[in-house]
Structure 1
């Protein structure tokens, strides 16, 4: 699976939104977003806010990944 930060960055470009605009929407600094773009994973609450801001369900990517691989049994 592609790191979530790269997927967020790609969706940002697809929407034609700037990093500054997304930072204002999320009430954070641009530098925080650049760090997010480098991450493999992020907090779910932050991902929810980013999903809303970019009008994209990033959680579906994880759901789709679950369907591809068998579940672990405890």
Structure 2
């Protein structure tokens, strides 16, 4: 059975916490509002363009999580 796909918003929130940063900080770096960033991070998916920008801002490759999930689940049915 396939494992559930990673939740992008939860991954970003966890990394923010690990780095000791806030959603407000990320929103400012991203060029948006805190309210909009909360909306983005409460979703299980984030647009690729936004996730690239967040990855660069936070210096963390969130796409690696998806690659690992893919490799772990590619042959499962």
Q: After the TM superposition, which parts of structure 1 deviate over 6 Å for at least 4 consecutive aligned residues?
A: none
Greater relative CO, 1 or 2 (CA 8 Å, sep 6+): 2
C-alpha RMSD of matched pairs (Å): 1.3
CA gap of 1:20–1:70, structure 2 versus 1, over 3 A, is closer
In the TM superposition, what are the counterparts of 1:54-69 in structure 2 within 5 Å? Answer: 54-69=58-73
**Secondary structure, counterpart of 2:44 in structure 1:** coil
Q: Which runs of 5+ in 1 are unaligned?
A: none
TM-score calculated relative to the size of structure 1: 0.86
- List per-residue Cα deviations over 1:3-50 (Å, max 9, x = no partner): 110111111111111222111110001011111221111100100010
Q: Which runs of 5+ in 2 are unaligned?
A: none
Shift of 1:70: 2.3
Matched residue, 2:20: 16
